[in-house]
Structure 1
């Protein structure tokens, strides 16, 4: 997306706390250009993936999985999906491990853009989304890694706002309404993410899932 200002990054990613992005942008663009950052990320991500999966990195399985994942990853409309559109504008890596990482990133951020739309439609802010995730994991909001660093008064105000809306109870846990809205957001996210895989046949989708399982596990397998 180029040298995006803090306000744009904040809007696109949706779930950063107020002021968090502005701590690093725009000064970071004096240290590295977006193009350099993308190149470093690709090299490092591909190297990490190859190291994790061992001999599988040189296998025909990886090539086939990358082809299927990429075909799905570039198949969806970009309307309303700013981060996915930005990633789609990048050149596809030729090396299979880098290509698979890039395809997985496209698929993840396509889903992420849809998740943000679902949150917005249900009136849940980015920080509130982290509170709901913490509660879903059985944690108090102040224990959750993405928001535990926030000033106590700021985080307490977010929780109080959810409590006033009937989503959080007096003890700081889910109400039935809170759990219901969390489940509806996740279900809608799944629905919005699913069409990107329609370009694959049922057999190809099964092949993709089967091929990804050992990669995800970091296992060395024989072809």
Structure 2
């Protein structure tokens, strides 16, 4: 099932990314009164957890710098109810996906079937140890097929993210270190130039890189050592293994059909850059 989990990640991730890359979601959140992109991001993604403190959001999101969640939570909810941010996120994401796909593909019976099968997988896994996934499981699954596909894909994304965090914790790789690993795995060098961490204080980045060197995971040249590469690969394999349970809800025939139904949808979204 690890192969299935990886293939489904490849097919579903571009659908989820419209939330972060396309304009419709940003416009919906801004219309509510969220002042910045990150206010809307934190308010809408964390909202299924309820009005929890910033420390809980920081722990659940894992990879943000210390204090980043506290710049947006709980202030982003002060005048905008979390439920409103959830609804805006769904509206905007579904609108962008519908625009990218066009009327013919968005209204195709194959998309309806893909949405139904994705929802079946997304609602069929245990929630224990899956904080963000469990939060999304409390939300109603949309009746509109395009919104249902996006919502279900995002549930599966949060399920995978929860498992990825567990794999990182088990490997003793912290949030900023995880970004370094991601950068190096993508061939970005120096890793400190990676977009998710380049804005951090230089002393913070130096400490992170120094710690990885001391552990023998990164060499003096700032690239993976063999031990670092093995650790990164082990984390990815475990992430796939932990992401597999939702797909147990589907029969082999349903899995094959889901892949077939998703391929033209995802190809269209990828061609548009998810935006």
TM tier relative to shorter chain: over 0.9
Give the C-alpha shift of residue 170 in structure 1. Answer: 0.4
Q: Return structure 1 stretches of 4+ with deviation > 4 angstroms.
A: none
Give the C-alpha shift of residue 32 in structure 1. Answer: 1.6
Give the C-alpha shift of residue 201 in structure 1. Answer: 1.1
Structure 1: tracts of 5 or more residues without a match: none
Q: Could you tell me which of 242, 262, 268 is aligned with 1:212?
A: 262
Task: State the Cα deviation string for residues 89-139 of structure 1 (Å, max 9, x = none).
Answer: 001111000000000001111011000000001111111000111111111
Number of the residue aligned with 1:72: 121
Whole-Å Cα distance in 2 between the matches of residues 65 and 15 of structure 1? 31
Q: Is residue 2:80 matched to residue 1:32?
A: yes
Q: TM-score normalised to the size of structure 1? A: 0.96
Q: Is residue 2:163 matched to residue 1:106?
A: no
Whole-Å Cα distance in 1 between the matches of residues 116 and 158 of structure 2? 18
CA RMSD for the aligned pairs?
Answer: 0.9
Number of the residue aligned with 1:144: 194
Q: Could you tell me which of 162, 180, 188 is aligned with 2:212?
A: 162
Whole-Å Cα distance in 1 between the matches of residues 58 and 134 of structure 2? 16
Give the C-alpha shift of residue 27 in structure 1. Answer: 1.1
Whole-Å Cα distance in 1 between the matches of residues 76 and 158 of structure 2? 22
Number of the residue aligned with 2:165: 116
Q: Is residue 2:176 matched to residue 1:127?
A: yes
Whole-Å Cα distance in 2 between the matches of residues 192 and 143 of structure 1? 30
Whole-Å Cα distance in 1 between the matches of residues 234 and 64 of structure 2? 22
Q: Could you tell me which of 196, 209, 212 is aligned with 2:246?
A: 196
Give the C-alpha shift of residue 70 in structure 1. Answer: 0.3
Structure 2: tracts of 5 or more residues without a match: 1-48, 270-275
Give the C-alpha shift of residue 23 in structure 1. Answer: 1.3
What SS is found at the alignment partner of 1:198?
helix
Whole-Å Cα distance in 2 between the matches of residues 217 and 32 of structure 1? 36
Number of the residue aligned with 2:136: 87
Q: Is residue 2:153 matched to residue 1:97?
A: no
Number of the residue aligned with 1:2: 50
Give the C-alpha shift of residue 30 in structure 1. Answer: 1.6
Q: TM-score normalised to the size of structure 2? A: 0.78
Give the C-alpha shift of residue 31 in structure 1. Answer: 3.7
Number of the residue aligned with 1:44: 92
Whole-Å Cα distance in 2 between the matches of residues 57 and 32 of structure 1? 31
Whole-Å Cα distance in 1 between the matches of residues 212 and 97 of structure 2? 40
Whole-Å Cα distance in 1 between the matches of residues 176 and 259 of structure 2? 33
